[in-house]
Amino acid sequence: MKRVGVIGGGQLAWMMADAAEKLAIQLVVQTPSLTDPAVSIASETVLAAVADAAGTAQLAQQCDVITFENEFVDLPALSKLADQGACFYPQLTALIPLLDKLDQRSFLQKIGVPMPRFAAVTGDLTVAALQQFGLPAVLKARRLGYDGQGTLILKTEADLPPIGTAKSDHHWLLEEFVPFECELAVMAARSIDGTQVIYPVVETQQVNQVCRRVFVTDQWDATVVAQVETIARSVLENLNYVGVMGFEFFLTADQQVLVNELAPRTHNSGHYSLDACVTSQFEQQLRAVCGLPLGSAALTCGGAVMVNLLGYESATSDYAEKQHQLSQISNAHLYWYSKTAARPGRKLGHVTVCLNDSQDRSDAEAIVQQIEQIWYPASF
Ligand code: ADP
């Protein structure tokens, strides 16, 4: 039996459980708290923060290979473990250009991938934003941003801090604002022998910069799919990447695909694959990092919709009545992450509904509305 170490014990690690069982793999999880979602499914837990390399050294002693559900690691410290023989997939060298948003943009520019114009910010953020691209513009914390935290959309001068008050001491990246038609995402995987598998292109919808819904419904124009797939293949190949990667894109009105961001792990936009694909993204990740043949990414149904159940208050409820109502929706698969506390914006669970061949986008939108009416208070 293979033992796979997973750095991070949140819902992404938790959702590897079924695939691990199917593939006879044991998961050892490194995570800071015994209440983290994946502790309940791990064979063993190393109780340590994600960036704690001493914890990862312990993990390495217990596992054949180590992978990531959270990339906010201490790469220089992990490199020492790799030098001592620890096996990481994806390899640490593939992560080096991805963990800092400016480095990621520079890497993408180097390999010729289309994306928004960007600039490193030195000096005053407000002056930089106004001088570089004018308004609207987007400021992003270069490191440790997730779920829109650390992303500031500057629409008007009212959104700007007064000149002189906001220095770039937290290392910001500035981007042009893309007036996108919609946002797309795709999951792609690459195995140790270089085989690649690409999942269907999906539409994601964000509310306040956090993903709220994923639609696996549209037959995108062939040129759009070709742009997405060319970018995904080129990135995986250039990084000699092993594992699953999430790609987020903007689709412009003239049907150009621009990369927003890469996530070197399983991703929220791929949760639908648990219920709607031959091989889920979680199984694919385990297959890739264990050197098993990759599985098919084909849909097993007519499509799907996924809605994130985001916290809308600070509470400790398990929302049993809402969970019950959501599970009654036909063809619904409810995933409840069993987090101990809700707070606004926190991902508490998700629901995927598989569609049959006769259901179209408007059916999918009606299902989304039904889910959101159950879960969200009207104002959220
Ligand atoms: P995070 O890494 O925290 O998820 P992202 O960089 O993905 O943050 O941004 C979150 C959301 O903010 C995006 O999904 C998009 O809706 C919006 N956004 C980010 N960058 C831009 C941009 N350059 N132009 C327009 N909207 C953007």
pLDDT digits (tens, 9 = 90+) for 11-27: 999 999 999 999 999 99
Per the listing, tokens 């412009």 go with: 252
Q: What is the pLDDT of residue 250?
A: 98
Q: Out of 260, 265, 310, give the residue to mutate to test ligand 1, the one with the largest number of ligand atoms within 8 Å of its CB.
A: 260
Write the residue with the smallest CA distance to atom 16 of ligand 1. 209
Ligand 1 center–CA 206 separation, angstroms: 9
Contacts of 19 (CB under 8 A, 6+ apart): 25, 280, 282, 283, 286
- The percentage of residues in the chain with a pLDDT greater than 90, rounded to a whole number, is 83
Q: Per-residue pLDDT tens for 338-371?
A: 998 999 999 999 999 999 999 999 999 999 999 9
pLDDT higher than 60, residue 38:
yes
Which pLDDT belongs to residue 166?
A: 58
The vertex-210 CA angle with 353 and 169, nearest 5°, equals 160
The region of weakest confidence among 155-164, 205-214, 302-311 is 155-164
Write out residues with Cβ below 6 Å of ligand 1. Answer: 116, 138, 140, 145-151, 175, 177-178, 183, 206, 209, 248, 260-261
Confidence of residue 149 (pLDDT cuts 50, 70, 90): confident
Q: Is the pLDDT of residue 168 over 60?
A: no
Task: Give 291 Cα–ligand 1 centroid separation in angstroms.
Answer: 34
> Mean pLDDT across the chain, nearest whole number?
94
pLDDT at 145 > cutoff 80: no
Q: Distance between CA atoms of 184 and 289, rounded to whole angstroms?
A: 26
* Length of the chain, in residues: 380
* Cα distance between residue 29 and residue 37, in whole Å: 10
Calculate mean pLDDT across residues 51-75.
Answer: 97
Q: What is the mean pLDDT of residues 317-330?
A: 96
Amino acid at 279: T
CA distances from 217 to 226, 304, 357 (A): 17, 6, 10
Pair 244, 187: CB distance under 8 Å? yes
Give the domains, in start order, of the chain with CATH numbers.
2-88 (3.40.50.20), 117-176 (3.30.1490.20), 182-375 (3.30.470.20)
Q: What is the Å distance from ligand 1's center to 118 Cα?
A: 13
Report the candidate in 333, 281, 299 with the shortest Cα–Cα distance to residue 217.
299
